[in-house]
């Protein structure tokens, strides 16, 4: 099994995906243990002094003015975890919780939090045992980080609350820890606060969304190319020299992908001799510009994620010179903004894909294809309602594109008077990504059928490879009406799994 070693310098996006989605094992480096030990010595020294230090010997948030006596500090740390584990609503997904915990461990291992090495090791042990704390949908405002979600995780480290075992059954966390020989953590000064004060949930969801979107943007280039082919469009608009004079990297990459898919097609360019159609519609002709803008948005989001993955987000932080200083680095604005940017880009990519699908189904605009790609139009409805479903998904994407980060709601007696709403931005982006995959799947379904119905002209080798792989995966081709939902579900899996992109790359080589 793949092992991720956590040091003091942060982790990579690939590390997050490996732990969250593939259950990679975690080890703490010797460097991390040394940094944890050194930072803890600083916290212990400050805890022994009579002067109050925020997070070490005081209350929290609006209650930070109270100095806490030594005999109450362990209780204080337990209490902050218990009181902040106040989430409500449905459980969030296992992969999100694993990413959340792993990224908190990443910050702990930076040596800037003051958490003891044994507490950090317990976090790794819980992840390695496949124990997943129950975390709820609501409870984070994305400022002071993802407080409630992280608190539910910290609660499980204490042996309290509920967690899901490796068998998928939810049980008391204490029972699961005992079964795996893991001793609950007895929290000491600052540790409770350090375990719940970070942007780890929203960052984890950002990293996984980027992983999904990397595949979906390639898939969307493929389905756009197939639609162009089915509509007898021209590939001349994809020429590199046209995109070089508007030098957006994402646009050039999408155009190159489409051109690679269409290489060798006998279906493209026929309308050049057809006077009524001088050029293709925007949804076909401008596909690289729209998908490319989304790709460039992803590049910016990836840069933000890389910076956050290298960051140590906590308050207060332990500095190498021995100071423990309050700060505002827990504010989620940098992550929240790009989460919202990605939702906007996903909505537009879904929208242009739906327009191409609609064009394929309309006999007045499809350049010779049968109405709704039906076998016997009138007796058969073809893909009429598949486009309804796609349109409903696009409409939902547009609602999800409304930015969460433009909102703020004050909390903690006005101490936390401006918040990022980054967790909310991340949650809606996850839904947007799921819906985008379904939208691309419907375009795939329609475009492959459209290409098949162009008799007498041979599709591009990459297109034929897609059709063959899709049919093998249960995505059926043209014919009389049938129960359509299973076909669309198979198309969704085909897109989401990466099988669509793989089918193309088997012919074209790696797509951009």
Catalytic residues: 54
Beta strands in 302-367 (DSSP E): 317-318, 324-325
CA distance 492 to 473: 11
Residue 170's nearest CA partner among 183, 192, 152 is 152
| Tokens, residue 400 | 């999800």
Place of tokens 């990224």: 103
CA distance 41 to 44: 5
**Exposed / middle / buried, residue 12 (Cβ in 10 Å: 0-12, 13-18, 19+):** middle
* Cβ atoms 316, 324 nearer than 8 A: yes
Q: b or e along 317-339 (b: 16 or more beta carbons within 10 Å of the residue's beta carbon)?
A: bbeeeeebeeeebbbbbbbbbbb
Neighbours of 240 (CB within 10 A): 10
CA distance 291 to 224: 10
* Cβ atoms 219, 433 nearer than 8 A: no
| Tokens, residue 322 | 């021995």
* Cβ atoms 37, 117 nearer than 8 A: yes
* Cβ atoms 462, 257 nearer than 8 A: no
Going by the DSSP 8-state scheme, the letter that residue 69 receives in this structure is P
Q: Which long-range contacts (CB under 8 A, 24 or more apart) does 275-279 make?
A: 277/367, 279/234, 279/237
Estimate the crossing angle of helix 249-262 against helix 461-472, to 10 degrees: 80
| Tokens, residue 280 | 């293709």
* Cβ atoms 462, 263 nearer than 8 A: yes
Element (H or E) spanning 31, and its range? helix 30-47
* Cβ atoms 228, 189 nearer than 8 A: no
Q: Which long-range contacts (CB under 8 A, 24 or more apart) does 483-488 make?
A: 484/383, 484/385, 484/386, 487/445, 488/386, 488/389, 488/438, 488/441, 488/442, 488/445
| Tokens, residue 391 | 């349109």
Going by the DSSP 8-state scheme, the letter that residue 374 receives in this structure is -
Q: Is the Cα torsion angle 395, 400, 401, 403 positive or negative in sign?
A: positive
């Amino acid at each position: 099994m793949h092992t991720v070693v956590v040091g003091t310098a942060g982790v990579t996006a690939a590390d997050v995906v490996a732990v969250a989605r593939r259950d990679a094992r975690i080890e703490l480096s010797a460097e991390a243990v040394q940094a944890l030990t050194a930072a803890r010595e600083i916290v212990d020294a400050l805890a022994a002094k009579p002067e109050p230090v925020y997070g070490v010997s005081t209350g929290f948030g609006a209650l930070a003015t109270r100095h806490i006596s030594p005999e109450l500090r362990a209780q204080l740390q337990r209490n902050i975890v218990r009181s902040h584990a106040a989430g409500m609503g449905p459980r969030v997904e296992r992969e999100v919780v694993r990413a959340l915990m792993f990224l908190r461990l990443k910050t702990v291992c930076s040596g800037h939090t003051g958490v003891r090495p044994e507490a950090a090791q317990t976090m790794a042990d819980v992840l390695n045992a496949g124990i997943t704390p129950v975390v709820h949908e609501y409870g984070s405002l994305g400022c002071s980080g993802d407080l409630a979600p992280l608190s539910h995780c910290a609660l499980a480290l204490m042996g309290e609350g509920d967690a899901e075992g490796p068998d998928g059954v939810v049980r008391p966390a204490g029972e699961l820890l005992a079964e795996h020989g893991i001793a609950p953590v007895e929290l000491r000064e600052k540790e409770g606060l350090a375990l719940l004060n970070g942007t780890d949930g929203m960052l984890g969801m950002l990293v996984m969304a980027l992983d999904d979107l990397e595949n979906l943007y390639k898939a969307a280039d493929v389905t756009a190319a197939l639609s162009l082919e089915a509509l007898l469009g021209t590939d001349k608009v994809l020429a590199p020299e046209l995109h070089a004079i508007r030098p957006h990297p994402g646009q050039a990459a999408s155009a190159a992908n489409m051109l690679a898919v269409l290489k060798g097609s006998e279906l493209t360019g026929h309308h050049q001799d057809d006077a009524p159609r001088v050029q293709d519609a925007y949804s076909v002709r401008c596909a690289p510009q729209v998908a490319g803008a989304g790709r460039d948005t992803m590049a910016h989001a990836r840069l933000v994620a890389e910076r956050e993955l290298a960051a140590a987000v906590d308050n207060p932080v332990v500095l190498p010179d021995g100071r423990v200083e309050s700060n505002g680095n827990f504010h989620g604005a940098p992550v929240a903004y790009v989460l919202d940017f990605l939702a906007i880009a996903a909505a537009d990519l879904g929208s242009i894909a739906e327009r191409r699908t609609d064009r394929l189904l309309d006999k007045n605009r499809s350049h010779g294809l049968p109405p709704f790609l039906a076998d016997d139009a009138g007796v058969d409805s073809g893909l009429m309602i598949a486009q309804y479903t796609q349109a409903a998904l696009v409409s939902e994407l547009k609602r999800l594109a409304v930015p969460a980060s433009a909102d703020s709601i004050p909390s903690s007696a006005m101490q936390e008077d401006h918040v990022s709403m980054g967790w909310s931005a991340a949650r809606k982006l996850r839904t947007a990504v799921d819906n985008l995959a379904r939208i691309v799947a419907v375009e795939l379904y329609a475009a492959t059928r459209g290409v098949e119905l162009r008799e007498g002209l041979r599709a591009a080798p990459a297109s034929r490879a897609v059709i063959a792989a899709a049919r093998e995966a249960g995505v059926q081709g043209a014919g009389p009406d049938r129960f359509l939902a299973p076909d669309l579900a198979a198309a969704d899996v085909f897109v989401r799994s990466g099988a669509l992109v793989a089918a193309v790359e088997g012919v074209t080589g790696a797509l951009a």
